[in-house]
Amino acid sequence: MLKKIPFWITYVFLYVPIVVVVAMSFNAGDSPYSWSGFSFSWYAELAKDEQIRIGLGNTLLVATGSTVIATVLGTLLAVGLARHTRSKILDAIATLPVILPDIVLAIGLLAFYSLIQLTLGLYSVLLAHAVFGTAAVAAVVRTRLNGTDPSLEEASRDLGANGFTTFLRITLPTLAPGIVAGALLAFTLSVDEFVIAFFTAGPQSPTLPIVIYSMVRFGVTPEINALATVLLAVTFTAIIAAARLTRLTERR
């Protein structure tokens, strides 16, 4: 029993802040600290908040756009790296976005955009997010590729199919679960990403994390608690749904 103490500390440590934030979102008063009665008023406040609505719209646009780019590029890259090259350098380029500190990529992109005199807006964030998205998709698809048998592709070629047909009818369908998982990862990473967006977004086009950041910096209000609770509910539901879905498909 004594041995399990650090285990319980970890979980208490992980969940106490979340429970406090969620509980305080239902506070009637305007302090996020002291309880003064139950109310949904901060959710009403949240629904009216124009900034948050703009931020959410921007985030969804950036995440969708960058995920589309990342899924196409990442899938092609994964197949290419696994089947057509042994180059360590190309490998390193494809994994670099995952290990590079986000602030370094952020300043690099800012410097690059400024050099080519691209006005910062929403698309500058979208293009930036596709960088680590591509790496994420490529990484996930490659783990799937490692588990598949290349002889299927060889058989298809031997039977007279050209490279394109083989890719479309054999490679893609076997990789489909990996591609979907990679796309989901790229989307989630983009929705949550703050640092790169902070450096590359135009002043008129903040993403949701940027809006949250300026709210938190400006001061704590229970409205942030309400927003946090909504985001938590969405994430928890999505994760549980994804877990159920993978269990269902695995069982089949």
Partner 1 sequence: MKRSLERLTLLGPGLGYLTVLMVVPLALVLSYTIFQRGRFGGLVYEPTTENFLRAVDPLYLDVLVTSVEIAGVTTVLALLLGFPTAYVIARLPGKWKTIALVGLVLPFWTNFLIRTYAWIVLLSPAGMINDALTGWGLIDEPLQLLYTKPAIVAGLLYAYLPLMVLPLFAALEKQDDQLLEAAANLGARPAKAFLTVTLPLTLPAVITGCVFVFVPSIGNFVVPELLGGGQTAMVGNLIRDQFLKARDWPFGATLALILVAMLMLLLMLQAWSARRLTGDKNA
The footprint of partner 1 on residues 186-205 (CB under 8 A) is: 188, 192, 194-195, 199
Of 75, 76, 196, 70, nearest to 130 (Cα)? 70
Q: Judged by CB under 8 A, which of 239, 244, 245, 246 binds partner 1?
A: 239
**Shortest Cβ distance from residue 130 to partner 1 (Å)?**
7
Residues 77-106 that bind partner 1 (CB under 8 A): 77, 79-81, 83-85, 90, 93-94, 96-97, 99-105
Tokens 């670099």 locate to: 96
**48-77 mask for partner 1 (x: CB under 8 A)?**
---------------------x--xxx-xx
Residues 107-166 that bind partner 1 (CB under 8 A): 107-112, 115, 127-128, 130-131, 134-135, 138, 163
Q: Which is nearer to partner 1, 11 or 149 (CB)?
A: 11
Q: Which is nearer to partner 1, 61 or 90 (CB)?
A: 90
**13-52 mask for partner 1 (x: CB under 8 A)?**
xxxxxx-xx--x------xxxx------------------
Q: Which is nearer to partner 1, 3 or 252 (CB)?
A: 3
